[in-house]
Structures are given as C-alpha cells and as structure tokens.
Structure 1
Amino acid sequence: MTWQRIQAPPGLDPPRPVTVRAQTIPARHVFPDHAHDWNQVVYAISGVLTVTVEGHSLVISPEQAVWLPTGLRHRVGSLLGAEFRSLWIANEVGRGLPQNPTVFAVTPLLNALIVEVTALDGEEDADGYAGRVTGLILDQLRRAKALLGALPWPRGGSSLTALCEALYADPADPRGPEAWSRELGMSERTLARRFEAETGMSLRSWRRRLRLFKAIELMGGGLDVTRTALELGYGSTSAFVYAFRTEMGCSPQAYMRGRRADMRHG
C-alpha cells in the first residue's frame, strides 16, 4: 500500500520567535522531503511518527521528539496516523540548542507547554503570558535529554520497509528470518546484512526494541500487562515482564507507576 503526500500550505511566514502548527496526519501520509530556514521540533501528542533525515529513518512515540536544525532536509509521516505538533523556532532564539538532528525525551511539563502554546495560537499576547510559555518551552528544550532509544527504520522505498511495517502492525507475527527472506526474495544472509546496514541493528535486536516500543505505547493507552503481552506475541506474561525488565531495568508495572507519577508532578 502506497503512502499519500501531504502538501504544506504555500507562503508560510517565519516564526516570531516560535510558531506551533497543529495537524492530524492520516495513516500512511507523509510530508515529502523539504527544509526550512528555521529550526523545528517534530512531535506527536498521540500516535507515532516516522522521521527521515540525512538518509536515516526512525520512529518516535509521544514520549519522544526530534530536533531538526535550520536547513536540514527531512521527511515526516505516520504509518498508523498521529496528532502532529510542529514547533518552528527562529534562529536567534535557538542558540544553545543542538547543531545536529537529535532525538530527545519529552517530559510531561514540555508536553503540557506544547499543548498550551497550541491553544494560545492566534491570540493576542497583551499580558505577555504566551511569551512566558514560549520561554519555558525554550528552557525545556535546552534541558532535554538526548536519547538513543528511537526505533530505527529502513530507508524509504527499501524492500525491508514492508517487513518493518508488517511487524509494527502486528508485533506477534511469528515469521522469522527464513520466512521473511523467502517473502522478500533474498537469502537469509542477504536479509541480515541489508537489515543491519539500513537500521544499524540485527533483525532480532530490532524486533526486541519494537516490542518494547509498542509495549509502552499499548500500556500508555490503557492496556494491562497481560493483554499487552498477548498483543506482542509473548508466550506468557512472565516472559514479557522478564524481557521488559531486562531492557528497562524495572517491571512494566513499576515503569507505568513512575510515568504516572511524573505526569502528576510534571
């Protein structure tokens, strides 16, 4: 199934100093390659985004965002649909922020500030409140922690994209390297070599990270641990809890309790 292009409106004004754009991205829709004369934060308050920059693609959840410096060509889309928020940040207020594309953690406070500044868009700022919210957003961006945990994605148009899309849609898909190599018309060795070349990970490691990524998404949407384990294809709840603890250093229940506490105090 092909992806549909989203055309940006013409004559967009530069940010003064921060502009937020709110948009729904339908499933399998994408903004094609483009660049801006200003910095950008790519973020979804719900759903999952696929971001391609400098030939590398990755998937980010609502707990993550991507910082894109001025002039960097990029592409943004969503496999399953997302509520997209794009923050455009003028160069003069972007000092102290990264000079390279960066994935970073979105704190509950930063999420709330982005929601608030979106609600204020277009209103007069007679008392300076919107300016103070903008200042807090910039402070949060400067304090944001860079992440390595985004889910890498094959290059657009690669035959491996179909594999990753299928596994993302159904993490419980039981097909292994042998079945997938037949499906894609290549040897297992070629599949392994190409997958690592395009994602920087083995297929096995990628599937493990995918399951972790989806687990956080599913539990954040209200699914309990048992149902999440079944959705991800684990043979038992205990197997899922063990895998989650190995990757995250805590149980799924403890992780979600910490996340809810962060949201209350963020």
Structure 2
Amino acid sequence: MTYSTDPNDYQRVPVKVAAMAKDFPPGHVVGEHVHERAQLVYAVSGVMRVTTRDGTWVVPTHRAVWVPPGEPHQIRMSGAVAMRTLYIAKDATASLPSRCGVIEVGPLLRELILAATDHPPDQPDPTGRMALIGALVLVELRSVPVMPLHAPLPRDPRLVAVCRALIDDPARPEGLEAWADRVGASARTLARLFRAETGMSFAAWRQQTRLIEALARLAEGQSVSLVARDLGYDSASAFTAMFRRTLGSTPSRYFERLE
C-alpha cells in the first residue's frame, strides 16, 4: 500500500505519533518550512543536513535530528536519502527537548520507527498496536544520547559574517586576528563573543563546521584524501586523527559501523 508523502497530512491525525516514509535523490533540498508537530528526522540511508536559525546539524545514517514544534528548518540531502520521519503531537513533547539536537538511533528505536511507517495514522487501530508503538517511542526519546554533530550559529553580525564565510569555504585558514581586521572588532572581542554565543572557541567551531562538511562529502563517496585536502588539512592522517578524536573511530570504520 502507498501512503501519503505530504507532511501536511500528518499534522492533525488522531494519534500522538505519526510516521512518514519518503525517499529523496542526491542533492535535493527541502526549503525552509515549519510543522505544527515536533519532528524526528531519521536517515535509514544517506546523510542529511538540517539547518535552523540557530545552526546546522548533520544527520548520518542511523542518526536522527529532533526538531521541536514550530521550528523553521531546511533539509539538504547528501547522496540519496531514505528518510523516515516521526511527527509527534505538541501535547506529547512536554518532557522532550525544547531545542534541536542529533540523537543516536539504537536498534529498538529504529525498529519502532520502521514499524510506525507501516500503518497510516488516519486508519483505525483496533488492536492498539500503534498506540503502544507511539508510547514506547516517547519513552525511548527521553533517554537517547545527544551526538556532537552541531555547529551553532551566533547572533552578533560580526560573528555571523565570519561563520557564513567559513560555512561557504570551511578550508579557509585565517585565524581570529585576520578575521578581526575584516569585521571591525578586536581578536579578543571575537574570541569572547564566540564563547558567549556558541559555547565554543573559534577553533572548535571551525573544526565542527569542517566535520559536518566532511560527513556529508564522505557519505557521497568522496575519498578521505580528497575531503582532507578540500577542508584545509595538511594530510589525510591529520584529518583522520581529528575525526577519530571527535567521533571515536576512523572515517572508514565509522561508516562501516553505520551500515
């Protein structure tokens, strides 16, 4: 049976947790939009980048991003993406995060998501199976770990100029002194603002931005050496060392584990 792939059809259904399955071609962009319900965006395969006004989250295979109700966001696909989305009623999100975040999808939550997509949310549930699945999904979401796959965006216009330039070209090597001259602030001021508005140092923020871009490119099949070079690393080994420190394994093992 073919079910709707229009998100609007899942916003006012009679169940707390509704699920939609939809596949996207490489490079597809879902422009900025907003949902009445909260959204758990899960990648069965492929990598997505979800961007809000507060930053960008990268969503590799077997990860998901949590988007609170009413949060404007954009989704960009890296490679072909099999997306499975849960739409969760606003009145069921009181104990769930109020801000976006990437979460680990373990075996149980994964199977619950896939099971939920097998039943159209506007159809009767005489056995109560879907209600139980939805209730267990909510229990799981309260305890899943948050992953370090986020690059927050600041508000200060001087920092925004720096961050936008690095998002467009993560390999740029300039330090804070060079950026300070360009945006009309001292390096000390920029360093203080980075900590205050992103919770990270400038160097940590730039590394996180490079990691997000690297995950998207690796998911598209680019080689580690090409990604390392394009993102400004002196060697593939230097890039691999950063990757291992942040995510706990080499790029090849990371994607093998996801698969």
For the residues of structure 2 that align with 1:26 and 1:122, how far apart are their CA atoms? 26
- Normalising by the residue count of structure 2, what TM-score does the alignment of the two structures yield? 0.69
Q: Distance in 1 between matches of 2:117 and 2:161?
A: 35
Distance in 2, matches of 1:227 and 1:99, equals 37
- Report the equivalent of 2:96: 98
Q: 2:181 corresponds to which residue?
A: 182
Over aligned residue pairs, what C-alpha RMSD do you find?
3.9
Q: Contact between 2:151 and 2:209, CA under 8 Å: does it hold in 1?
A: yes
Alignment of 1:65-104 (within 5 A): 65-66=65-66, 68=68, 74-78=71-75, 85=85, 87-89=87-89, 91=91, 94=93, 97-98=95-96, 100-101=98-99, 103-104=101-102
Which residue of structure 2 aligns with residue 215 of structure 1? 214
Distance 2:130 2:149 in 1: 32
Q: Which residue of 2 aligns with 1:154?
A: 154
State the 1:135 CA deviation: 4.8
Measured against aligned partners, the alpha-carbon deviations of 1:183-228 in whole angstroms (never above 9, x if no partner) come to: 3232322222222222111111111122223223322332232222
Q: TM-score, normalised by structure 1?
A: 0.68
SS in 2 for 1:47: strand
Residues 93-137 of structure 1: per-residue CA shift (max 9 Å, x gap): 557x43644624142654565466457546635675655654553
- Residues 15 and 90 of structure 1 are in contact (CA less than 8 Å); yes or no, is this contact kept in structure 2? no
Alignment of 1:1-266 (within 5 A): 13=12, 16-20=15-19, 29-31=31-33, 40-43=38-41, 45=43, 46-52=47-53, 57-62=54-59, 63-66=63-66, 68=68, 74-78=71-75, 85=85, 87-89=87-89, 91=91, 94=93, 97-98=95-96, 100-101=98-99, 103-107=101-105, 109=107, 110=109, 114=113, 117=116, 120-121=119-120, 124-125=123-124, 131=131, 134-135=134-135, 137-155=137-155, 158-260=157-259
Provide closer, same or farther for how the CA distance between residues 185 and 137 of structure 1 changes in structure 2, counting only shifts above 3 A. Answer: same
Asked if the contact 1:15–1:89 (Cα under 8 Å) also holds between the matched residues in 2, the reply is no
Change (3 A) 1:112 1:218: farther
Rounded Cα–Cα distance in structure 1 between residues aligned with 2:93 and 2:204: 36
C-alpha contact (below 8 Å) 1:18/1:90 kept by paired residues: no
Rounded Cα–Cα distance in structure 2 between residues aligned with 1:163 and 1:150: 17
Q: Deviations over 1:130-154 (max 9, x none)?
A: 5565455335424422345422222
1:99–1:172 CA distance, 2 compared to 1 (3 A) = closer
8 Å contact 1:51–1:58 — kept in the other structure? Answer: yes
Asked whether the equivalents of residues 171 and 211 of structure 1 are also in contact (C-alpha less than 8 Å), the reply is yes
Q: Percent identity?
A: 27
CA displacement, residues 54-92 of structure 1 (integer Å, 9 cap, x when unaligned): xxx232122341253x7xx633235x568884622353x
Aligned length: 237
Q: Alignment partner of 1:77: what SS? A: strand
Measured at CA, do residues 86 and 77 of structure 1 come closer, stay the same or move farther in structure 2, by a change above 3 Å? farther
Q: Distance in 1 between matches of 2:221 and 2:130?
A: 33
Partners of 1:169 and 1:119 lie apart in 2 by 39
Query: Residue 264 of structure 1 aligns with which residue?
Result: none
Compute the displacement of 1:254 (Å): 2.5
Give the letter for the 1:41 counterpart: Q
